[in-house]
Amino acid sequence: MSEAANSVEAALKRAAQLIADAPVVALACHVSPDGDALGSMLALHHALRAAGRKSIASFPNPFVVAPHYRELPGLETLVPPGEFPLAPQVMVTFDCGSMSRLGDLEPSAKAAGELIVLDHHVSNDRYGSVNVIDPDAAATAVVVRRLMGELELPMAHEPAVCLYAALVCDTGRFQYATTTPEVFDLARELVGYGVPVERLSRALFEEHRFAYLQLVAEILGRAELCVDQRFVWTAVTVDDFDRHGVTIDEAEGLIDLVRRTAEAEVSCVIKEEPTGTVRVSLRSLGNVDVCRIAEREGGGGHRFAAGFTSSDPIPEVIERIKAAL
């Protein structure tokens, strides 16, 4: 076993020991949680509670789950950040690369007796007291499955559905380079617990309101392709969202449409929040490390997928990205 794998293994054991000994475990994932963040967190939440353990789970404001995650069991058991412990004895974060991505749960993380960080982002800045970060894992869900094993928490239907959703989201439905034999081994195990594969896939990836499709038509219509830089981008403003009656959370999959552009190596979608802050998503085919661009802007991610937020106007953000390319 490599030194890196050994240290992940040691951290995993330490995390399991702390969780096993804690009277209450406080779970949190990153702001605007994606499938891996929500699924990983909910899976451990279900498994702990099924074992009679006290677990409380939340994510930062805005406390809204994107509609395509509605099939994840247990969303109703999440508490708003205002009800999260201010100084948890043991706190666990999921898929969250830095303290600031915890938003208004950051003070709880800073005050936590032990802070266990479960993640697979290579850019994770190791802000925990125990950092279980495996950059070779296709999803945080993979790390959570191993932790459940270490804690001897049995697999069951609900955690299986949550972990499967996390895995299928972070591997792009088993299409990204991260889709290893181990990923299929885990998927095979999870599906054995009655994961509603078809229903989940439709909810996660296929189904959208008609209003959303019309918004997509408009913003794809004005996308810009910079041929020389092999770069494609588009943006959705608050006005676009308002005119079509679509929420920003519904638009998470936009980048997956834009990144289909054959002429582009790097793709980008910018979404404006009601506060005026913009959320920037970057994707690369691999020749450009978009994580480095995101890190320069205070964000993070992986070589192939990264993101950041900014309070600058959209044209300025785009110019900086083009310059970085």
Residues in contact with Mn ion by the rule CB under 5 A: 36, 95, 140, 170
Query: With respect to Mn ion, which residue has the nearer C-beta, 90 or 163?
Result: 163
By beta-carbon proximity to Mn ion, the closer residue of 176 and 193 is 176
Task: At 214, list the tokens.
Answer: 């019309």
Question: Minimum CB separation from Mn ion for residue 131, in Å?
Answer: 15
Are residues 322 and 231 in contact, defined by beta-carbon separation less than 8 angstroms? yes
Peptide bond connecting 80 to the previous residue in cis, omega within 30 degrees of 0: no
Write down the least CB distance from residue 184 to Mn ion, Å: 18
Please say which residue, 95 or 250, places its beta carbon nearer to Mn ion: 95
- Residue 154 CB-density burial (10 A; 0-12 exposed, 13-18 middle, 19+ buried): exposed
Q: Please, what is the minimum distance in Å from the beta carbon of residue 262 to Mn ion?
A: 27
DSSP SS3 for 96: coil
Which segments within the chain are labelled E, that is strand? Answer: 24-29, 54-58, 90-94, 114-119, 130-133, 224-226, 231-236, 266-272, 278-284, 300-301, 305-310
Q: Residue 81 or 307: which CB sits closer to Mn ion?
A: 307
Minimum CB distance to Mn ion, residue 68 (Å): 16
Judge residue 181's burial from the number of C-beta atoms within 10 Å of its C-beta, 0-12 exposed, 13-18 middle, 19 or more buried: exposed
* Residue (122 or 226) nearer to Mn ion, CB: 122
**Least CB distance from residue 160 to Mn ion, whole Å?**
18
Contact present, 108 and 42 (Cβ < 8 Å): no
Residue nearest to Mn ion (CB): 36
